[in-house]
Amino acid sequence: MENEMRSIGEMARDSGLSVSALRFYDRAGVLVPAWVDPVSGYRWYEPVQREEALLLARLRRAGMPLADIRLVLAGWASADTDLVRGLLQAHLRRLELGLSDARGEFSTLRALLDHRETDPMTSLHTATARLTVPAPTLAAALDAVRFAARTDGELPMLGGILFDIEGEGLHLVATDRYRLAVARAQATGHGGARTQVVVPLPLVDAMRALLTSGEPVQLALDGDRVTLEAGDRQTSGQSLGHEFPDYRRLVNLPVGRRARVDTVAFCQALETGPVRRSETREQDGEPCDLSVLRVTENGSVLVCDDTDDDRDNVAVNREFLLHALAAGARDELILELGAPTAPLAIRRPDDEDAFSLLMPVRLDH
């Protein structure tokens, strides 16, 4: 029988659905394998089910609900073209109505944004500011957040690092929508109101290159000009001139399950452990390798294999997680996992002011 059928791995390759997705659709009663080995539990599919799997993948990419997909597959199998066409047309109408509603809401939001842009009370930018920061402290803060920033053509304000100055504190923040990193450095000399500037990444990297000594450096803001002086050397450039997202709202998360990990050992477990390929294109518009994690009862973090479908599992981009662990710059770090839809936090045991967040990737296909 097995020679006449397709294994779940073969079906995954042929359909573009992952093995975990096929298991999910089996449990949901959407695409049930023709035979399941009673001893190993391994799933086998008839060759004709390949067409159904391809159809299922297309319908999910189009955002059709599972309840309707079941009916489409049933109509497809029975050649009930009227049923299939009716379901497709109904879903297309829902999408069109949703798009029309979204356009109306977006039009209102644009008007509100236009009003905020003309309101000086919404801006935290000031004309001038000058502060002194120890070079090692600023270097460590930049290293802790740099990995989370990159140029984004749609959101130019994310192509830099936010310098958020308030009192004796300087917070550095970077995000590319899928990960966010925050670090704090002690600063002196700024006695004015809270002010912010977004420093473009090329200037950030030039600043980091100057931070090679243990002496304090001076950071100066003059309009849209940012200057860093380190002894007789300096680098300067123009700020991005865009408002940065209110990161304080983004980091206010419910407390999750915490686990302390040995950084080197955990990185090795991620690099050599099981991965899943994302079906949804939520991050960067491209599929990525996912590490699926869970905090066990004994307080350790498990890198789950492909058969582990615990409801508390959290899936994250493995490459992003490895970058965040490296930026943590500690032998031990704390991982905080909340709900599968909540960000994963990576924290330093000795420094609550330096942490990063990774957005999870949905496992429900």
Radius of gyration of the chain (CA): 25
Backbone angles phi, psi at 161, to 5 degrees: -115, 135
User: Mean pLDDT across the stretch 346-363?
Assistant: 89
- Residue 151: its pLDDT value, please? 82
In sequence order, the 6+-apart residues with CB closer than 8 A to the CB of 112 are none
Complete domains list, the chain, with CATH: 6-92 (1.10.1660.10), 123-248 (3.10.150.10), 253-358 (3.10.150.10)
With beta carbons less than 8 A apart as the criterion, state whether 226 and 239 touch. yes
Alpha-carbon span 210 to 112, nearest angstrom: 42
Q: Please, what sign has the CA dihedral across residues 112, 115, 117, 119? A: negative
Q: For the chain, where are the E strands, in sequence order?
A: 6-7, 35-36, 43-45, 128-134, 160-166, 169-175, 179-186, 195-200, 216-222, 225-230, 233-238, 257-262, 276-277, 289-295, 301-303, 314-317, 332-337, 344-348, 351-358
With beta carbons less than 8 A apart as the criterion, state whether 26 and 11 touch. no
User: Mean pLDDT across the stretch 167-179?
Assistant: 90
In percent, the amount of the chain with pLDDT more than 90 equals 47
Q: For residue 309, which amino acid is it?
A: D
pLDDT tens by residue, 93-138? 999 988 988 888 888 888 887 776 665 544 555 568 899 999 999 9
User: Mean pLDDT across the stretch 86-90?
Assistant: 92
C-alpha distance from residue 161 to each of 150, 222, 362 (Å)? 9, 17, 28
Strands 35-36 and 301-303: unpaired
User: Mean pLDDT across the stretch 281-294?
Assistant: 75
Q: Is 150 exposed, middle or buried (0-12, 13-18, 19+ CB in 10 A)?
A: middle
Among 140-149, 178-187, 285-294, 338-347, name the one with the lowest average pLDDT: 285-294
Q: Residue 280: which pLDDT band, with cuts at 50, 70 and 90?
A: low
Q: Is 211 helix (H, G, I), strand (E, B) or coil?
A: coil
Cα 357 to the center of its chain, rounded Å: 8
pLDDT tens by residue, 25-71? 888 888 999 999 888 889 999 998 999 999 999 998 898 988 899 89
- Residue 203: its pLDDT value, please? 96
